[in-house]
Amino acid sequence: MEFLTNFLAGIFNGAPLWIWPLLFLLIALGLHCSRRREMSILPYFLMPLIALTNMPTLLAQHSAELALMSWGFSYLAGISGGFWVQGRWIIARRGLRAEVAGEWLSLTVMMLLFWANFANGALAAVAPELTAGMAYQILFPGLLGLASGSFLGRPLRITTWPSSTPSLA
């Protein structure tokens, strides 16, 4: 129990101060996405920028080249996955506006990306031999790539969705 307490204290005390407002912003955004809403599709194209948060973690890996390659291939797969899954939540699109159903995937993926950096740092500190292994160098960046890529596939699906005539409430 003392290890866990020290571990959590290390996370809270060691993280930069700006990280906590970011966490609350991501949670608020994820909760907003859980509700049916009408929206401009343009902000959806800002979501892929979350991939930039992966770069420091990827570049710090033991084999940055391998990590970036794994991330890149997985990012492409994530685009396909995001494109496919977004079709479940589109209700209507007219021009640059869309009505979408509420979903929890956005919050889940944002939290995965946010906490993955903490998990990577903790693992590197307590089990550096694990994070140096080839499996970790491929699988961890692959997970980040899949999650990040989904945020590009989703707005691509919305923009390719046929415009509909029903009014967007």
Helix (H) or strand (E) holding 99: strand 97-100
Average pLDDT over residues 119-131: 87
- pTM here is 0.85
Q: Give the torsion sign (CA, 18, 19, 20, 22).
A: positive
pLDDT at 169 over 70: no
Contacts of 108 (CB under 8 A, 6+ apart): 30
Residue 166: predicted pLDDT: 55
Average pLDDT over residues 80-104: 95
